[in-house]
Amino acid sequence: MNWNLDQLHLFVRTAECRSFSAVARETGRAQSAVSTAIALLESDLGVTLFERSSGRQPQLTEAGAALLEQARSVLQQCQRLDGRALGLARGEEARLRLAQDEAMPYQPVLASLEALAEAFPLLEVQLSSGAQGDVARKLLQRQADLGLLFHHEQMPRELESQRLGTIEMVTVCSPNHPLAGLATVERRDLAEHRQLLMTPQDSHYPGGEQIGPLVWRADSFYVMAELVIRGVGWAWLPRHVAQYPTYQGHLQELRSDWAPLPLVVELVTRRDGALGPAASWLADCLARELLRPQA
């Protein structure tokens, strides 16, 4: 194979312009140089790409039409290679692995990822979701570069965090639960019924205070919501979880002066690593999106 990318470019432009002279003017060459380059390409490929009738515009042959899209694809791949190499030379990441708590508000995250795809079109992104503890574990095991999680006081020392925003917590139960019939729920009312809490017990999540003697624990806000729907107990849930479309009509928000502080959303990285341009850009975008009112 002796053909080169310049010949491939001239082939594609001639097919698009249907004129050797137009391509010659575009590239600042003599028309004979363009014709010769394409003739050499035909010789190397062993096929005729254009019909060259006297006084007529060059027309693609059947073979030329069959190879045109593949030629375009090769040129596009080369452009991607150049773009990726330029980004790496500027310090951009080749890949970004994001792990997030499964209960993270999905609208800000999706909006941020959509914007990331436009801002860094050549970046490879790997996404993973998990219950409490999974995000920190992935970071510690170097299976993720960035983590989105809710702040708790038992953060491993190897990790450092950046506050992005807060998520409101609400008190909920099943519409058939005894608490649902109360106009206002006080602490002593909550203490009389089974409470659903996040696990492990020493996680120190906001909303992790045990109110009464009856407690069940889970490692997922969505699991807690499912148990609440089935009347197992009451729980504090992030508002966006309680308002998840599947749960509409199955969860009742209780009016109570006794509610936990908002969940703090944090972007977490390893202390022995540094955020690249794409990761820093994503962090800023997530912070902006979390401040927007959620529908």
Rg (CA), the chain: 30
Q: Per-residue pLDDT tens for 235-289?
A: 999 999 999 999 999 999 999 877 778 888 888 888 777 778 888 889 889 888 8
Q: How far apart are CA 189 and CA 139, in angstroms?
A: 40
CATH number at residue 148: 3.40.190.10
Whether the CB-CB separation of 126 and 248 falls below 8 Å is answered with no
Q: How large is the average pLDDT for residues 29-52? A: 87
Residue with tokens 């202390």: 271
Q: Per-residue pLDDT tens for 135-165?
A: 888 988 989 988 998 887 777 778 888 888 8
Q: Which domain holds residue 78?
A: 5-89
Q: What is the pTM of this model?
A: 0.60
Q: How far apart are CA 249 and CA 280, in angstroms?
A: 39
Domain match, 117 and 50 both = no
b or e along 147-165 (b: 16 or more beta carbons within 10 Å of the residue's beta carbon)?
bbbbbbeeeeeebeeeebb
Domain match, 37 and 180 both = no
Last residue of a domain, one of 89, 121, 148: 89
Whether the CB-CB separation of 251 and 81 falls below 8 Å is answered with no
Domain match, 173 and 43 both = no
Average pLDDT of the chain to the nearest whole number: 85
Q: How far apart are CA 50 and CA 58, in angstroms?
A: 6
Domain match, 116 and 146 both = yes
Per DSSP (E only), the strands in the chain are 50-51, 59-60, 95-101, 124-130, 146-150, 159-167, 169-173, 195-198, 215-218, 234-238, 252-253, 263-270
The SS3 call for residue 237 is: strand
Q: What is the pLDDT of residue 156?
A: 79
Secondary structure letter of residue 236 according to DSSP: E
Domain match, 183 and 212 both = yes
Count of domains in the chain? 3
Whether the CB-CB separation of 145 and 280 falls below 8 Å is answered with no
How many helices (H) and strands (E) would you count in the chain?
10, 12
Tell me: pLDDT of 231 over 50. yes
94: in domain: no
Q: Could you tell me which of 216, 230, 240 has the C-alpha nearest to residue 177?
A: 230
Q: How large is the average pLDDT for residues 94-105? A: 88
